[in-house]
Amino acid sequence: MSRTGVDRGPALTGAATLVGLFVLLELAIRVGLVDRYVVPPPSEVITSFGRIVTEENIPQRFAQTALEGLGAGVLITIVGVPLGVLLYRRMVLRAAVQSWVAALAAAPLVLAYPLFLVIFGRSAWTIVMMGFVSGVAPVILKTLEGLTATRRVLIDVGRSLKLTPMQQFRLVLLPAAVPTIFVGLRLGLIFALINVVGLEFLINFGGLGQLINELAERYDLPGTYAAIAFVVLVSVLFFAGLERTERWLRPGR
């Protein structure tokens, strides 16, 4: 098989699997195995895409959710990574707060949204900050894990070449930790996006989350699922961007 054929193999298999599942679901709904008032037929969801794009102002809503997600993503990176580095450098601080940060990662922070509403008002800031708070803990923990797990021999290579602490960090520790830091960023972004869309839904403000709320209340099930598909698209775009950034920062994998 040609190299291009090998490269495209997984993507084609993935697409074929998805199409196969849709066909099976369509058949199951049409023969009455699945109630069409709970799950609409995929064909109706697909045909509703055009309708919700034109009638529900999807481009503007999509952009708003994507920008709120991006804002939360940028914040979890510029705050989470330095905090992870700080915990790596300061043993006492690490011993004192690591378990608290782990607890924060597992906490259902979305329940604190009324507090954020009081602080930031019913605005995009509430949504961005909720996403940030929900996603920052995994980034801190994974940054710490990546730096701590750097192979001793790589650090010794740096020491043998008399690198300054800054060079050791920039040229050895950080590149070695990049894959683990990106695991944290992926996790953080998942948490952030869930909270962004969830809060748009809850406070009925802004992008795709609000649209899902409205369509669900109108009992427009095909439209609701089509809107959910756009949320998935936001997630796919973010993950593709993260993957490219990781490959750029950490080649050779």
Partner 1 sequence: MSDPTVVPWPRPAPVARPETVLAVDDVVVRFQTRDAVVTAVDRMSFGVRPGEFISVIGPSGCGKSTLFNVIGGLVTPTAGLVTVAGEPIRGPHPAIGMVFQEESTFPWRTVLDNVAFPLEVRGVPRRVRNEKARDVVAMVGLTGFEEHYPSELSGGMRQRVSIGRTLASEPKILLMDEPFASLDEQTRLLLGDKVLQIQQTLRQTTLLITHSITEAVQLSDRVVVMSYRPGRLKRIVDIDLPHPRTSEVVTSEAFGHYVAEIWGDLRDEASRGMAEAEAQRGGTR
Residues making contact with partner 1 (CB under 8 A): 151, 153-154, 156-157, 159-163, 167, 171-172, 175-176, 178, 250-253
Compute the least distance from the CB of residue 82 to partner 1, in Å.
Answer: 21
2 CB contacts (<8 Å, ≥6 apart)? none
H-type alpha helices, 90-173? 91-106, 113-120, 124-148, 152-160, 165-167
Question: On the CB side of 60, how many CA atoms lie within 13 Å of its CA?
Answer: 8
CB nearer to partner 1: pick between 151 and 244:
151
Compute the least distance from the CB of residue 155 to partner 1, in Å.
Answer: 10
CB nearer to partner 1: pick between 7 and 156:
156
Compute the least distance from the CB of residue 81 to partner 1, in Å.
Answer: 17
4 CB contacts (<8 Å, ≥6 apart)? none
130 CB contacts (<8 Å, ≥6 apart)? 72, 109, 110, 112, 113, 116, 195, 196, 199
CB nearer to partner 1: pick between 4 and 160:
160
Compute the least distance from the CB of residue 80 to partner 1, in Å.
Answer: 21
Q: Are 148 and 234 in contact (CB under 8 A)?
A: no
CB nearer to partner 1: pick between 90 and 151:
151
CB nearer to partner 1: pick between 118 and 153:
153
Its sign, for the CA torsion 38, 43, 49, 51, is negative
| 172 CB burial (10 A radius; 0-12, 13-18, 19+) | buried
For residue 169, give both structure tokens.
């960090």
Q: Residue 109 carries which DSSP code? A: G
Compute the least distance from the CB of residue 248 to partner 1, in Å.
Answer: 11
CB nearer to partner 1: pick between 79 and 176:
176
CB nearer to partner 1: pick between 54 and 167:
167
Task: Give the span between the Cα atoms of 248 and 84, in whole angstroms.
Answer: 21
Task: Give the span between the Cα atoms of 26 and 41, in whole angstroms.
Answer: 5
Compute the least distance from the CB of residue 158 to partner 1, in Å.
Answer: 9
Compute the least distance from the CB of residue 249 to partner 1, in Å.
Answer: 8
